[in-house]
């Protein structure tokens, strides 16, 4: 009797546990590992989120200022307490300044990533980074001509060297504006010029943000936010675009290919090496070193059937796009990957790497290897990576992983079954190729209404939204309504895990989109790359707008970041909206403490840059907002707007 009762209570315990796990993620693989985490008593981001609740209201509203040491100051949102900071800054000023600093941090992250890519490119051209080579000569030449570099009679290394110098100048430019902005449609560039928000030097805009938000400098919310738009543009049409271009030259412009995603890509009998972070500079070498015969032999000696490299976050997207290297998961799956107990090495570079991985790796046999000279973490094995010895370092890293294989504890291993096929590699070039070399077929499909519009869905994971719930449902809703979706970053991985990146997913699309996808043999959701590759989306929309002789803001296009969390996402939001694309955010940015800033972002920006933000956590309602926007644009273009 007693035993029965015990069983009963255990059942209800595990039932609650299961229920809790289902509330956290829609992805079965993640649910399996979250349950394992609970059983093993290991902490994840979701547990730490619960401990943070309720979160600070001042922080959520953006009304706390720490910019000088008279403070910290905060404004009482309900008007009973302080209405101004000590310096006299109102909620409007404080919210705007905080937002500007966030944009600056996001732009800095993307652009500093770009700088490293260019520096590696420069070293390669001078023969100082022998592990790298020029993989896309056509792109090198086309970029050289864009930057006004004569190519005749020069070898390609010389061209690359001169191009690298020209690109580096963009960072410290003191006069004129960023060259990539010339790729924007003419009316857009004209608008930016009139508003005075054409970005100048990449670094300069970020520095100016920090200057303006220093105590006692820029204290007009609108004026502050215009600098936010300019800084965002210096990312999208500067840093990010340069990163994409240079990485394409160095590692090849992505072409459609098949791969697999989700935690199930981890191998039972091979050495599992995860590359996590954002830059391809290292992960490209890791992928290569994993095929090194000497290391494969060592793996065999250690009892492994081979070496399996898998990605997480955007460094994963970079190798996925160019080599079809499988991806183990999105941002919120980084800890889960370690908890499978099957990861020999978690190799990280920069951005979106949780410091919790250090302690977590200690619970398993995983070696947590940090490689960037910029990014150290608690409890890591430091293996600093420099381009000069790129391949050697990559080999050393793989060697550490291989030698760690015998320490894998089979009793602690649980690799989920889920392993989903996906079609990836849709660079702007690849999409135009698929269309037969011209954007016309897509334009015709949009005109006929077969393709109702284009949705750009991007961004992170955020524990505030059930893992992948926002991403997958929003995208499904869009394709159901014949909106072709282009995706990058963790949205792309989430969609891949949900099986939306295979041509067969067109069955989930509306009739019009389904027919187009079937004719071209493409999925209804096109993976365009990492988060810096949102620049590819800008280029593609410019191609469409230019072909039609209009502005990006005239196109039936809408954007969304359903589960965003990082500062980079704020910078992205700033440049996507400044480029004329209406954007729906799935989590609330910390701006609601100022009515003026909120009104500007969600309404008044329309009159300034022809697009604005909306906030909608419910993915179905968010999709409805995007569709409504696309309907409106179709109507203005004189196209059928009656769904």
Scan residues 353-372 and list those touching another protein (CB under 8 A).
none
Least Cβ distance, residue 76 to another protein (angstroms): 7
Least Cβ distance, residue 81 to another protein (angstroms): 7
Stretch that binds another protein, among 13-21, 69-77, 375-383, 623-631 (CB under 8 A): 69-77
Q: Which is nearer to another protein, 81 or 127 (CB)?
A: 81
Distance CA 594, CA 275 (A): 40
Contacts with another protein by CB under 8 A: the residue count is: 17
Distances in Å between the alpha carbon of 332 and those of 68, 413, 510?
34, 19, 31
Scan residues 589-628 and list those touching another protein (CB under 8 A).
592-593, 595
60 binds another protein (CB under 8 A): yes
Say if strands 73-74 and 367-370 run parallel, antiparallel, or are unpaired.
Answer: unpaired
5 binds another protein (CB under 8 A): no
Residues in Cβ contact with 67 at an 8 Å cutoff, skipping those fewer than 6 apart = 97, 213, 214, 215
Scan residues 559-588 and list those touching another protein (CB under 8 A).
588
* Site track 81-100 with another protein (rule: CB under 8 A), x = hit: x-------------------
**Binds another protein (CB under 8 A): choice among 78, 148, 174, 175:** 78
Indicate the burial class of 490 (C-beta count within 10 angstroms; 0-12, 13-18, 19 or more).
buried
410 binds another protein (CB under 8 A): no
Indicate the burial class of 83 (C-beta count within 10 angstroms; 0-12, 13-18, 19 or more).
exposed
Cα angle 606, 612, 617 (rounded to 5 degrees) comes to: 150
Least Cβ distance, residue 562 to another protein (angstroms): 18
50 binds another protein (CB under 8 A): no
The three-state secondary structure class of 311 is strand
**Binds another protein (CB under 8 A): choice among 1, 3, 4, 80:** 80
Stretch that binds another protein, among 30-38, 53-61, 300-308, 397-405 (CB under 8 A): 53-61
Cα-Cα-Cα-Cα torsion 148, 150, 155, 161, nearest 10 degrees, comes to -40
Q: Which is nearer to another protein, 60 or 267 (CB)?
A: 60
Stretch that binds another protein, among 77-85, 336-344, 354-362, 408-416 (CB under 8 A): 77-85
**Binds another protein (CB under 8 A): choice among 13, 15, 56, 83:** 56
* Site track 191-230 with another protein (rule: CB under 8 A), x = hit: ----------------------------------------
- List beta partners, residue 560: 457, 584
Helix (H) or strand (E) holding 106: helix 91-125
61 binds another protein (CB under 8 A): yes
76 binds another protein (CB under 8 A): yes
Say if strands 381-382 and 367-370 run parallel, antiparallel, or are unpaired.
Answer: parallel
69 binds another protein (CB under 8 A): no
| CA end-to-end distance (rounded Å), the chain | 62
Query: Which one, of 484, 614, 622, lies nearest residue 555 by Cα?
Result: 484
Q: Quick one: how many helices (H) and strands (E) in the chain?
A: 27, 16
Stretch that binds another protein, among 75-83, 194-202, 293-301, 378-386 (CB under 8 A): 75-83
**Binds another protein (CB under 8 A): choice among 28, 71, 77, 187:** 77
Least Cβ distance, residue 570 to another protein (angstroms): 18
54 binds another protein (CB under 8 A): yes
Least Cβ distance, residue 89 to another protein (angstroms): 17
Q: Which is nearer to another protein, 1 or 53 (CB)?
A: 53
Least Cβ distance, residue 614 to another protein (angstroms): 14
Whether the Cβ atoms of residue 597 and residue 575 lie closer than 8 Å to each other:
no
Distance CA 225, CA 228 (A): 5
Q: Which is nearer to another protein, 92 or 112 (CB)?
A: 92
Distance CA 471, CA 497 (A): 11
Indicate the burial class of 320 (C-beta count within 10 angstroms; 0-12, 13-18, 19 or more).
buried
The three-state secondary structure class of 582 is strand
511 binds another protein (CB under 8 A): no
Longest dimension (CA), the chain: 91
**Binds another protein (CB under 8 A): choice among 4, 19, 79, 511:** 79
Residues in Cβ contact with 96 at an 8 Å cutoff, skipping those fewer than 6 apart = 221, 222, 224, 225, 228, 594, 597
Q: Which is nearer to another protein, 3 or 78 (CB)?
A: 78
Distance CA 540, CA 537 (A): 5
What residues line the site for another protein (CB under 8 A)?
54, 56-58, 60-61, 74, 76-81, 588, 592-593, 595
């Amino acid at each position: 009797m007693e035993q029965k009762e015990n069983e009963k209570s255990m059942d209800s315990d595990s039932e609650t546990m299961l229920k809790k796990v289902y509330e956290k993620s829609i992805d079965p693989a993640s649910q399996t590992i979250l349950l394992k985490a609970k059983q093993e008593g290991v902490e994840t981001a979701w547990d730490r989120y619960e401990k943070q609740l309720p979160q600070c209201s001042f922080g959520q509203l953006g009304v706390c200022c720490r910019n000088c040491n008279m403070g910290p100051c905060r404004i009482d949102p309900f008007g009973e307490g302080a209405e101004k900071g000590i310096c006299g800054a109102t909620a409007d000023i404080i919210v705007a300044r905080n937002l500007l600093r966030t944009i600056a941090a996001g732009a800095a992250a993307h652009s500093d990533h770009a700088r490293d890519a260019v520096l590696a490119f420069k070293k390669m051209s001078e023969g100082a980074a022998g592990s790298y080579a020029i993989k896309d000569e056509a792109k090198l030449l086309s970029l050289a001509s864009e930057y006004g570099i004569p190519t005749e009679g020069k070898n390609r290394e010389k061209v690359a060297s001169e191009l690298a110098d020209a690109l580096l100048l963009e960072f410290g430019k003191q006069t004129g504006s960023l060259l990539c902005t010339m790729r924007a449609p003419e009316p857009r560039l004209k608008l930016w010029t009139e508003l005075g928000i054409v970005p100048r030097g990449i670094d300069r805009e970020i520095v100016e943000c920090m200057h303006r938000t220093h105590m006692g400098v820029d204290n007009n919310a609108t004026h502050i936010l215009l600098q936010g738009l300019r800084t965002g543009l210096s990312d999208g049409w500067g840093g990010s675009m340069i990163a994409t271009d240079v990485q394409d030259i160095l590692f090849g412009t992505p072409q459609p290919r098949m791969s697999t995603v989700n935690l199930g890509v981890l191998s039972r009998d091979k050495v599992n090496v995860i590359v996590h972070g954002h830059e391809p500079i290292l992960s490209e070498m890791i992928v290569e070193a994993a095929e090194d015969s000497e290391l494969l032999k060592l793996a065999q000696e250690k009892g492994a059937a081979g070496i399996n490299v898998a990605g997480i976050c955007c460094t994963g997207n970079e190798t996925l796009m160019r080599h079809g290297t499988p991806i183990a998961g999105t941002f919120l799956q980084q800890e889960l990957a370690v908890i499978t107990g099957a990861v020999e090495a978690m190799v990280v570079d920069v951005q979106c790497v949780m410091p919790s991985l250090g302690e977590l790796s200690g619970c398993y046999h995983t070696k947590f290897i940090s490689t960037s000279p910029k990014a150290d973490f608690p409890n890591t094995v430091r293996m600093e990576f420099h381009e000069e010895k790129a391949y050697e370092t990559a080999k050393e890293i793989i060697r550490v992983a291989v030698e760690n294989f015998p320490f894998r504890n089979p009793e602690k291993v649980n690799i989920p079954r889920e392993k989903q096929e996906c079609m990836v590699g849709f660079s702007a070039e690849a999409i135009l190729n698929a269309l037969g070399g011209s954007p016309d077929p897509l334009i015709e499909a949009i005109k006929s209404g077969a393709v109702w519009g284009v949705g750009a869905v991007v961004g992170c994971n955020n524990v505030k939204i059930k893992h992948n719930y926002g991403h997958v449902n929003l995208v499904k809703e869009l394709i159901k309504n014949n909106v072709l979706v282009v995706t990058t970053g963790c949205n792309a991985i989430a969609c891949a895990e949900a099986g939306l990146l295979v041509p067969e997913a067109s069955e989930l699309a509306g009739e019009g989109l389904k027919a187009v996808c079937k004719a071209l043999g493409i999925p209804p959701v096109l993976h365009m790359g990492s988060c810096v590759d949102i620049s590819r989306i800008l280029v593609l929309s410019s191609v469409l707008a230019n072909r039609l002789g209009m502005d990006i803001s005239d196109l039936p296009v809408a954007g969304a970041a359903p589960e965003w969390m990082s500062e980079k996402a704020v910078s992205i939001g700033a440049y996507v909206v400044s480029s004329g694309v209406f954007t729906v955010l799935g989590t609330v940015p910390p701006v609601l403490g100022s009515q003026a800033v909120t009104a500007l972002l969600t309404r008044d920006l329309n009159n300034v840059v022809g697009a604005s933000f909306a906030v909608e956590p419910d993915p179905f309602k968010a999709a409805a907002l995007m569709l409504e926007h696309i309907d409106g644009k179709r109507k203005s273009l004189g196209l059928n707007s009656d769904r």
